[in-house]
Structure 1
């Protein structure tokens, strides 16, 4: 059985602004981090949830790694501040 994650679509439209590309300027650090994490092998994270089971749906590992790396790169280490 494959893992079932909470939907993660980074290209999805937002209420305000309509897309992330309109919100962030070209060359923003977030684009670099996104491209870098997309190139990583995250199979160890996926393997943890490959069996499925009764637990709640986790967030997609790529999204979570991007949030943590961006937070660390900008000097935000608190999980509560990252959540904001």
Structure 2
């Protein structure tokens, strides 16, 4: 069994693309999307919109446009985990 540090930031350099995307998305106005997210009561709770925007932007930037490939990458690649 491989044990990893709880702090994922220790595994990426401070100038990694994932941090840049995270900072950019943190400054975006997602209030319209957030309003629908916060009002939703049906079904399973959705993923947080800000996290999803970060994951999608990072995936597109590294050339992973397919949702299935994004899912597989999320399970295998550390930078994707830092976006969540």
TM-score normalised to structure 2 length: 0.74
Mapping for residues 18-37 of structure 1, pairs under 5 Å: 18-37=6-25
| Number of residue equivalences | 70
Q: Distance in 2 between matches of 1:21 and 1:50?
A: 28
* Structure ranking higher in helix proportion: 2
CA separation of 1:51 and 1:21: change in aligned 2, threshold 3 A:
closer
Q: Distance in 1 between matches of 2:40 and 2:64?
A: 32
Structure 1 residue 23: Cα displacement: 1.2
List structure 1 runs of 4+ shifted beyond 6 angstroms.
none
CA RMSD of aligned residues (A): 1.4
1:21-64, Cα deviation, whole Å (9 max, x unpaired): 11111100000000000000111111213323232100011100
Q: Distance in 1 between matches of 2:42 and 2:59?
A: 31
Q: Distance in 2 between matches of 1:57 and 1:20?
A: 25
